[in-house]
A = this chain, B = another copy of it.
């Protein structure tokens, strides 16, 4: 059977700021600019998650995208929607919430929760309509 990639898109709205607590405020401002605002700012995030696998000859699915959506809702969106990404998300504790760091953390939330034979292929997180980051796994140390 052919291998294909199926993508589901979900969204959430959250507050964050970019900063390192071990840096003085001026250094945070210098490196992260207005993104370091101590009073926070926020975004409507769009998250696209792509899984890859053989088309199941019985169902014609790689996997039921309703199940993928349910995993994304329960393991990602419920934790981050209408939340503060610096303060309120257990699996982001200690993480500076750049889009790069978020996309890798979201990958780790999903990768072990897929059916047998289905692999996580790509996670894309759009912070704004003009900025996004994509992670396809691998190259970790």
A101–B140 alpha-carbon span in the complex (Å): 34
Residue pairs across A and B with Cβ atoms less than 8 A apart, 5 shown, are: A4-B103, A13-B43, A15-B41, A37-B82, A41-B42
Binding site for B on A (CB under 8 A): 1-11, 13-16, 18, 20, 31-35, 37, 39-44, 50, 54-55, 58-62, 64-66, 81-84, 87-88, 95-101, 103-104, 128-136, 138-141
Given A37-B82, A42-B41, CB of A99 within 8 Å of CB of B6: yes
B129 touches A84 (CB 8 A): no
Looking at chain A's contact residues, the main secondary structure is mixed
- Contacting residue for A13 out of B41, B84, B104, B138, CB 8 A: B41
B6 touches A44 (CB 8 A): no
B43 touches A43 (CB 8 A): yes
A90–B139 alpha-carbon span in the complex (Å): 40
Residues from chain B with Cβ under 8 Å of A18 in the complex: 60
Whole-angstrom distance between the Cβ of A25 and the nearest chain B Cβ: 16
- Contacting residue for A128 out of B16, B44, B99, CB 8 A: B44
